[in-house]
Amino acid sequence: MSKDYLLGIDIGTSACKVAIFNKNGKVMASANGDYPVYYPHEGWAQQKPDEWWHAVCGAICECLETGNISGEQIAGVGIDGQSWSLLPLTMREMF
């Protein structure tokens, strides 16, 4: 199976945007995934990384399905995230 597509993921402040492009830059499929921003105290804004993860996974699945594209056809992935985000992980959480 040839790898003819690129997958782009933009993790924004209130939603992620995912798109699959062909080699000529044409958008073959796109989807969004929403997640909330929590304001526990005045001047604070927080998000839950697992909500980002679920939104991104859902949007990727939607793109693959609507574009009739197999994951094996994806040649590369580009990811863009919100600036100044800190996400500490333990090794247990990664595996």
pLDDT in tens, 6-28: 999 999 888 999 999 999 999 99
pTM above 0.85, yes or no: no
CB 5 within 8 A of CB 76: no
Res. 82: pLDDT tops 90: no
CB 55 within 8 A of CB 34: yes
Burial of 60 (0-12, 13-18, 19+ CB in 10 A): buried
Q: Cα dihedral angle (22, 23, 24, 25), rounded to 10 degrees?
A: 60
Res. 94: pLDDT tops 60: no
